[in-house]
DNA sequence: CTGTGTGCAAACACTTTGCAGGTGT
DNA sequence: ACACCTGCAAAGTGTTTGCACACAG
């Protein structure tokens, strides 16, 4: 069930830090912040390097940004089928558990279509639901 | 068409800064950030005072927080009928125009109901649509 | 008069930038 | 060999906290 991603397939140079970050995303269901990553890799890499790695991955369409509702930023893997370095395509719901703090993509739930008043052109949509997750009952 | 709000009705002490902030919200359709407010009041009040005023207004249910999709935070007036110091109740769509940067509440469009997988309890919901607004064609 | 609001300075968290040196291909 | 990654230091942005003084009620 774990996605197998390789740096090579994204035309990225193979480095230890990138491997570790990619690995962390692959094995963690919840979205990760820069701080989460720094810790999960045991402070082995500089804060700045992780930021730059995230930026690179964003541009390549490997991960996408998730806002956690309180101003924090997290990241999670994209659906490999819909995202490339050209375009990101996300229409799933994000859920943040107020108890454990985990933020996750609920890929099984798509955002319903919404008709806006005349004159509004929709380009991107972002839906965050906060509440409690199954693990926290 | 402009909402008339008074500090007194919220049991708040009447001060110049609060009046100005409340006034700014009343006359501006788009959501305002702390920085917007600071400028719109001609840097007359300290940055910190505005933050504290916003915090107070949030707690009283006068305004609500809006995320602008890039990590920025803005604020806009609540519907006086649904928000109190006890609870905030928001189920309208937020729209951010990528051209003019304005973020607005679209009170006429409610968020459709969404059924989450088993075990997820919804408490709050936040929907941000980005695109272009009528003013920017 | 009393409690609350304000201004200033400083701390804090998060993210970005510049530069020198190291590494993948 | 060369381009690109990385680490360190420092700067930038947005927000919060502590404290002394000012002001509304």
Picking from A67, A75, A109 by the largest number of B CB atoms within 10 A of its own CB, the best residue to mutate is: A67
Contact B123 A98 (CB under 8 A): yes
CA of residue B17 to C1' of nucleotide D10, angstroms:
36
- With a CB cutoff of 8 Å and minimum separation 6, the contacts of B84 are B61
Contact B127 A126 (CB under 8 A): yes
The alpha helices in chain B, defined as continuous H runs, are 16-27, 34-40, 47-60
User: Residue A72: which of A26, A31, A43 has the closest Cα?
Assistant: A31
| pLDDT (0 to 100) of residue B3 | 56
Q: Which of B115, B124, B133 sits opposite A130 (nearest CB)?
A: B124
Rounded to whole angstroms, the Cα distance separating A23 from A66 reads 19
Tens-of-pLDDT digits for all 137 residues of chain B? 455 688 998 999 999 999 999 999 999 999 999 999 999 998 899 999 999 999 999 999 999 999 998 989 999 999 877 888 888 888 899 999 999 999 999 999 999 999 999 999 999 999 999 999 999 98
Mean pLDDT, chain A, as a whole number? 92
Whose tokens are 């919220």? That residue is: B10
| pLDDT (0 to 100) of residue B19 | 97
Average pLDDT per run of 10 along chain A, which is 137 residues long?
A: 75 96 95 96 94 97 93 91 84 93 94 94 94 93
| pLDDT (0 to 100) of residue B57 | 97
How many residue pairs bridge chain A and chain B with CB atoms within 8 Å of each other? 112
B2 in contact with A at a CB cutoff of 8 Å? no
């Amino acid at each position: 069930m774990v996605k197998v991603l390789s740096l090579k397939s994204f035309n990225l140079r193979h480095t230890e830090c990138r491997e570790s970050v990619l690995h962390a995303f692959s094995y963690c269901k919840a979205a990760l912040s820069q701080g989460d990553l720094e810790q999960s890799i045991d402070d082995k890499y500089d804060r700045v390097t992780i930021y730059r790695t995230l930026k690179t991955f964003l541009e390549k369409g490997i991960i996408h940004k998730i806002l956690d509702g309180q101003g924090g930023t997290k990241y999670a893997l994209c659906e490999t089928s819909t995202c490339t370095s050209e375009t990101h395509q996300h229409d799933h719901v994000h859920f943040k558990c107020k108890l454990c703090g985990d933020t996750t993509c609920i890929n099984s739930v798509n955002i319903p279509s919404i008709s806006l008043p005349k004159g509004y052109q929709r380009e991107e949509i972002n839906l965050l639901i906060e509440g409690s997750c199954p693990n926290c009952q």
